[in-house]
Structures are given as structure tokens and as C-alpha cells.
């Protein structure tokens, strides 16, 4: 199993600003995943982050808007840039160990 922590747990931000979300895992993992859950919707994968290489973004998500860092095997950050109210969501970090995927507690973001 894996225990994942995220910071901050929630934030309220102004339009046009940026927020960096941190994800820490209690074990070394190859891939870390970042998801978004918009209000009333299910989870959508933003990108997959491998240590030592560029993140791989899903269709509809771009690096300029959601830059990701992966400096080591237990840590990653996701930045939500130039925020608009449409970015209000829960952002979740996830890892896979064996066949099972585990999720962090999420970061609840409200953009005014």
C-alpha cells in the first residue's frame, strides 16, 4: 500500500494567480498521477509524472497551464497557473503500487 499526503488541503485563490500543490508519498514510486475532479464530476487524469523526465499530459491539458515537477521518487508538485473560476476543483495525487492505485486526500481549490 501507499500513504499519500497533499498540501495544502484547501485554498481560496484570486483569478489570475497560481497555486502549487505538493504531494508526498511514503515509499518510492516510479509514476505519480495528477487528477482533477470538477464539482459533480468524476476524476479526470491531468498528467503522469515520472522521475527524471517530462510529465506526460492528457488531451486537453497543457504544460503551460499545469506545470509539474518530479524531483525524486517520493515527491511531486502540480502548479495551477493563471487560475480562473473554471479551475475550481479537487486536485488529487495518485500512485500505483502493484496493481492497485492509491490516492491522496486531495486539495480543494476555489478560484474567485
Partner 1 sequence: KQEVTQIPAALSVPEGENLVLNCSFTDSAIYNLQWFRQDPGKGLTSLLLIQSSQREQTSGRLNASLDKSSGRSTLYIAASQPGDSATYLCAVKGNTPLVFGKGTRLSVIA
CB of 90 to partner 1, least distance (A): 7
Whichever of 40 and 52 has its CB closer to partner 1, that residue is 40
Nearest to 105 by CA among 37, 47, 48: 37
DSSP state for residue 72 in the 8-state scheme? E
Cα separation, 28 vs 74, in Å, equals 5
Q: Work out how close the CB of 106 gets to partner 1 at its nearest, in angstroms, rounded to a whole number.
A: 5
Q: Are 43 and 92 in contact (CB under 8 A)?
A: yes
Using the minimum distance from each CB to partner 1, give the nearer residue, 56 or 82: 56
Nearer to partner 1, 58 or 75 (CB): 58
Amino acid at each position: 500500500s501507499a500513504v499519500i499526503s497533499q498540501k495544502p488541503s484547501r485554498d481560496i485563490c484570486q483569478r489570475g494567480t497560481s497555486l502549487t500543490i505538493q504531494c508526498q508519498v511514503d515509499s518510492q514510486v516510479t509514476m505519480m498521477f495528477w487528477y482533477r475532479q470538477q464539482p459533480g464530476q468524476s476524476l479526470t487524469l491531468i498528467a503522469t509524472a515520472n522521475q527524471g523526465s517530462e510529465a506526460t499530459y492528457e488531451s486537453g491539458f497543457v504544460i503551460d497551464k499545469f506545470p509539474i515537477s518530479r524531483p525524486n521518487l517520493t515527491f511531486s508538485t502540480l502548479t495551477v497557473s493563471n487560475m480562473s473560476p473554471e479551475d475550481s476543483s479537487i486536485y488529487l495525487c495518485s500512485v500505483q503500487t502493484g496493481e492497485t492505485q492509491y490516492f491522496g486526500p486531495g486539495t480543494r481549490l476555489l478560484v474567485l
